[in-house]
A and B are shown apart, each in its own frame.
Chain A
């Protein structure tokens, strides 16, 4: 990701766009934040927001004609938030403590003609910048058209206070001094810049109207003017004063008059705010319109504000929520993380724990894909050697196992020498539901084509998710080679992750889901209608089948044929959620994967039905009753959530059983260490699995001991303790040797190594 890509991505997420009210305000008062404080009864904080942006909040806050309200999002379905009236209430119920903070005085002199709101604003903004201001007006009292406003709305002290504030800031104010054309020319000659404030008076203090633009530039070089756009609108008067002050400052500083001023004045906002769950409530009316809202009334009105923002993605993703920001903020953090040369990369977990499910992209109004950002970042980290070794290793080792001789297998159907089709059940179905692989394979040979071969392997999804392109390529090479040798048959998948991997990385193969085939060929004899006694089931679409409309439909029709009544969850189909397995999330951040599961299982009191075996196991591990569709078709072979070790054992056994029963091959005896018998209590197994330690790892330690490896003994309880480091992780096992088996009490692991000679 370079600077340019970063900026494009940041721009794509519109969460930080201004809320509609703020964008429509000519001076961009942060009305959302202001109203938010008002809603919590925090009037002082609300006042600070006004003090920060408004010139003379005690004046403008009372009389603003609130164009923001025309753009308030609530207006679409009812009443806009009464921002103007809330500002008035805030001003009436608070006082300001804000002092002018001046810059060191400059030696340029500025004249201001008139004392209406635009003229006063120019005076204020330039005084703050350190310019000596001289204000002249023909009227006896300052304020211009402000003096026409009833004192009940705008108490005269507010104007007096403004004048005092300016004087304290060093401005000189001269009233009652008629501006004749001669006087005007003298001012233009003797002052560096002059502002002429029309402030709602048609001919202005001079009786002449100069051509002027929005920014206050006129046809005379050092003359600036304002107060004619939008008649007597107070907020536009203030805004014109502000824009003219900016122009005058830039003119005197001799810098660009236009650069960076695109967002001056009302602008459209690209923000998106979902109004789906918004229940319109009518505007609160003040009991006394004369005096405006009491603070209680103001709070009631302010509470109607929905605090417009997007966060559509964060609402549906516990992972995004956990990291407490928007994708816009995350891409910046990721960019910074990548730029670190020396030091700690603090957000590696953020990058590695997105489950790459793609839900964010489907709900985002601009199609922002956090998955793409995280995935390309992972690829980059692997390339530069900065991927933390432990982030995806467990999943990758499992993949390696499944593509080793322990599981990998390709065969034409028994008695056949060619394959029209090739069944690819995937490593997870083989691991969790081996008998269903056998059942489904028999079904395919019987109902689809006798020449249906079999390939046992892992499709490489863990490597893809971990950003490890090299490993993915070598898996694909192996699969492609075997598939080519088989005569390039059509590939039948039973897992949507395999399906999506093959579609992307083996596009030359025709890949079809087993659910499509079953929907077409019909259920195996005897299973039709068997589920009609059951309660309805809520269906779980796997995230990798999000866009597979056809597969989704096939599964539903199969379920209907089974007699199952199917209920749709709110997040299903295109908007389905990941179970926490995708992207190796459960590996990189188990806590957030658990949170996702917790939310998913509470979305319906019904039992669930899944057509991804990992979804079934993950949801079941959180205590939900979940069926895999194959559990309904062949119910006698159901055993949910076997755990990591058992999955590997199941795969080993599946391969040898199939070889022996279908192809009558003689399988070599399992390796010696695998034959070491273990006894592990359920509690110990839970701890061990939680630490991602496999039985196989334990057996390797014991095998090492049996072959002369050293260890410790505890004379008090007779336990032994030994370690072994097969690859990168050192495993410790506490055990007892009893008769012919090993009782395992505990196991733990670490990655640090004791330096050579230390042992």
Chain B
């Protein structure tokens, strides 16, 4: 999933803290000693990263499983 683009355009979520719409940005994800850089929606002001449900329960879960079997 390294270097993958994970954002499919604008989302309805906004940062509740900064009152700002989210925008795409590069984010590093870590698990079991591996790091992936992906593009995710985040708050441009405070950096809060939004992990959508389908990513968490789909691709991320799959990659977690693969890394756990390494």
Contacts and interface: CB of A to CB of B under 8 A. Distances in A.
Given A388-B68, A714-B14, A732-B56, 20 more contacts: A344-B70, A388-B65, A710-B17, A712-B13, A712-B15, A712-B16, A715-B14, A748-B57, A750-B51, A750-B60, A750-B61, A750-B64, A751-B60, A752-B30, A752-B63, A753-B31, A754-B27, A754-B51, A755-B28, A759-B47
Contacts of B60: 750-752
Interface string B16-40: 1100001000011111100110000
Interface in B34-67: 35-36, 46-51, 53, 56-57, 60-61, 63-66
A746 B22 CA distance: 21
A684 to B, nearest CB: 12
B8 interface: no
Interface in A463-516: none
Contact of A713 (B14, B28, B46, B57): B14
A220 interface: no
A289 interface: no
Contact of A758 (B28, B63, B66, B68): B28
A264 to B, nearest CB: 43
A748 B53 contact: yes
19 contacts: A342-B70, A389-B32, A390-B65, A391-B68, A710-B15, A711-B17, A712-B13, A712-B16, A712-B22, A713-B15, A714-B14, A730-B51, A732-B51, A746-B53, A748-B57, A750-B51, A754-B29, A754-B30, A758-B49
B35 A755 contact: yes
Contacts of A344: 66, 69-70
A691 interface: yes
B16 A711 contact: yes
A277 B66 CA distance: 43
Interface stretch (A171-179, A201-209, A396-404, A716-724): A716-724
Give the interface size bracket for B toward A.
20 to 34
A737 to B, nearest CB: 11
Contacts of A348: 68-69
Contacts of A714: 12-14
A732 B69 contact: no
Which of B14, B29, B56, B63 is the most central at the interface, judged by chain A CB atoms within 10 Å of its CB? Answer: B56
Contacts of B70: 342-345
Contacts of B30: 752-755
Contacts of B14: 712-715
B12 A715 contact: yes
A713 B15 CA distance: 6
A758 B27 contact: yes
A713 B11 CA distance: 11
A749 interface: yes
Nearest to B17: A710
A717 B63 CA distance: 32
Name the residue in B13, B22, B27, B60 with the highest tally of chain A Cβ atoms < 10 Å from its Cβ: B13
A751 B31 contact: yes
Contacts of A691: 57
Nearest to B70: A344
B64 A390 contact: yes
A732 B49 CA distance: 12
Contacts of B66: 344
A346 B69 CA distance: 7
A716 B61 CA distance: 29
Interface of A: 342-346, 348, 388-391, 691, 710-717, 720-721, 723, 730, 732, 746, 748-755, 758-759
Nearest to B37: A755
B51 to A, nearest CB: 6
A146 B51 CA distance: 81
A751 B56 CA distance: 9
Contacts of A389: 32, 68
Contacts of A748: 53, 56-57
Contacts of B31: 751-753
A755 B56 contact: no
B48 A759 contact: yes
Contacts of B65: 388, 390
B16 A710 contact: yes
B65 to A, nearest CB: 8
A343 B63 CA distance: 14
A47 B40 CA distance: 61
Nearest to B29: A752
A683 to B, nearest CB: 15
B27 A755 contact: yes
A710 B17 CA distance: 6
B48 to A, nearest CB: 5
A664 B6 CA distance: 57
A754 B16 contact: no
Given A721-B13, A754-B49, A390 B56 contact: no
Contacts of B12: 714-717
Given A710-B15, A711-B16, A749 B56 contact: yes
A333 to B, nearest CB: 14
Contacts of B48: 710-712, 759
A584 to B, nearest CB: 15
A346 B49 CA distance: 32
B52 to A, nearest CB: 9
A388 B69 contact: yes
A759 B49 contact: yes
Contacts of B13: 712-714, 721
Contacts of B57: 691, 748, 750
A345 B35 CA distance: 20
A627 to B, nearest CB: 36
A712 B50 contact: yes
A720 B16 contact: yes
A724 to B, nearest CB: 13
Contacts of A388: 65, 68-69
Contacts of A723: 51
A677 B69 CA distance: 39
B44 to A, nearest CB: 13
A66 B14 CA distance: 81
B22 to A, nearest CB: 8
A721 B53 CA distance: 11
A345 B69 contact: yes
A750 B22 CA distance: 21
A391 B65 CA distance: 10
A759 B13 CA distance: 16
Contacts of A720: 16
Nearest to A755: B28
B11 to A, nearest CB: 9
Of the listed residues A751, A752, A754, the one surrounded by the most CB atoms of chain B closer than 10 A to its CB is: A752
Contacts of B35: 755
A716 B21 CA distance: 13
Contacts of A730: 51
Contacts of B22: 712
